Amino acid sequence: MIEKFIAIYVFIDDIMIEIGHKEPVNRNSSDSELIAVALIAAKYFHGNIDHAISFVKCTNLIPGMLSKSRFNRRIHSIFELIIDLFLNTADIIKRLNISSEYIIDSFPVATCENIRICRSKLIKGKQYRGYKPSMRKYFYGFTVQVITTVDGIPVEFAMLPGCYHDIDGMKNMFFNLPDESIVYGDSAYTDYYNEQVCSEAADINLMIARKSNTKLPHEPWQNFLISDSRKRIETTFSQISSMLPKRIHAVTVNGFLMKVILFIFVFTIDEKFL
């Protein structure tokens, strides 16, 4: 775990230097150290910051690490920086992805159990009630739309209220992908007009699984590629979900979303670079 922390810290610090990040020189703990601790918390402690802080202190990795309250204030103040670091990491992955093939899918992240919806303090409203047909699961929280490489490495994501359908989620994605990329998806993303727009405007080929009553069927080889790609992204979601605690503890919505991002981010770094 110590070696993993050092590797994550060096990786984050190198990107910070590359993007020209500046911060006050009189700080006891740098932003790179804080982000590395947050990522270690997501990787090994189910997002528990207390345990991660104790780990870096008792191992003398960062003896002067901030207290939990000061850590939380600092990490919330660099929320946008964390997203920027993920996007820079994603750009590196896309440059390394010679095949230019990607997969789009979504997974639910609940803020509480369904039976406790009426007592939820973090979020309120019917827009957070969702249903995931492939899992046959009702949930209360957010839907995370993710684009991954064919190896299952996330390169883009969007988090929307649970009521959003997959096709609505796809329309909220930037699709910042190389020209002539191919994006595989299941039939929930069926939208012929959107496929045409992506092809003509962004030179991105959306290869979406067809429903049984479709008027634009795929060739058998296309159906095979779509079906085969689905297995890898489902494995990715399973691996990310295994890091999540039974309930993500957060006081604010931004705090909740940041923890989900940290889980995705540390999975991406660990799978591709470490």
pLDDT higher than threshold 90 for residue 148: yes
- The verdict on pTM exceeding 0.85 is yes
d(CA 222, CA 58): 54
Where b means 16+ CB within 10 Å and e means fewer, 96-120 reads ebeebbbbbbbbbbbbbeeeebeee
Residue range 54-71: mean pLDDT, rounded: 93
**What percentage of residues in the chain have a pLDDT greater than 90?**
77
Tokens of 4: 């993993």
Average pLDDT value over all residues in the chain: 93
Tens-digit pLDDT profile for residues 25-44 = 888 899 999 999 999 999 99
pLDDT higher than threshold 90 for residue 269: yes
* Confidence (pLDDT) at 53: 96
Residue range 132-154: mean pLDDT, rounded: 94
* 116-123, Cβ contacts within 8 angstroms, sequence gap of 24 or more: 122/250, 122/251, 122/252, 122/253, 122/256, 123/253
Tens-digit pLDDT profile for residues 243-266 = 999 899 999 999 999 999 999 999
For 1-58, the DSSP string reads -HHHHHHHHHHHHHHHHHTT----TT-SS-HHHHHHHHHHHHHHSTT-HHHHHHHHHH
Tens-digit pLDDT profile for residues 181-204 = 999 999 999 999 989 989 888 899
Lowest mean pLDDT, pick from 5-9, 48-52, 225-229: 225-229
**What percentage of residues in the chain have a pLDDT greater than 70?**
100
- Cα–Cα–Cα angle for 264, 208, 88, nearest 5°? 30
* Confidence (pLDDT) at 83: 97
Between the CA atoms of 131, 136, 138 and 144, what dihedral angle is there, to the nearest 10 degrees?
-50
Task: Write phi, then psi, for 60 (nearest 5 degrees).
Answer: 60, 20
Residue range 3-17: mean pLDDT, rounded: 96
* Confidence (pLDDT) at 57: 93
Tens-digit pLDDT profile for residues 104-123 = 999 999 999 999 999 999 99
Tens-digit pLDDT profile for residues 66-82 = 999 999 999 999 999 99
pLDDT higher than threshold 90 for residue 12: yes
pLDDT higher than threshold 90 for residue 220: no
* Confidence (pLDDT) at 251: 92
pLDDT higher than threshold 90 for residue 213: no
**Does 231 or 182 have the greater pLDDT score?**
182
Is 267 within 8 Å of 240 (Cβ atoms)? Answer: yes
pLDDT band at residue 93 under the 50/70/90 scheme: very high
Tokens of 88: 């820079």
Distances (CA, A) of 141 to 79, 168, 184, 260: 20, 16, 26, 12
Helix (H, G, I), strand (E, B) or coil at 111: strand
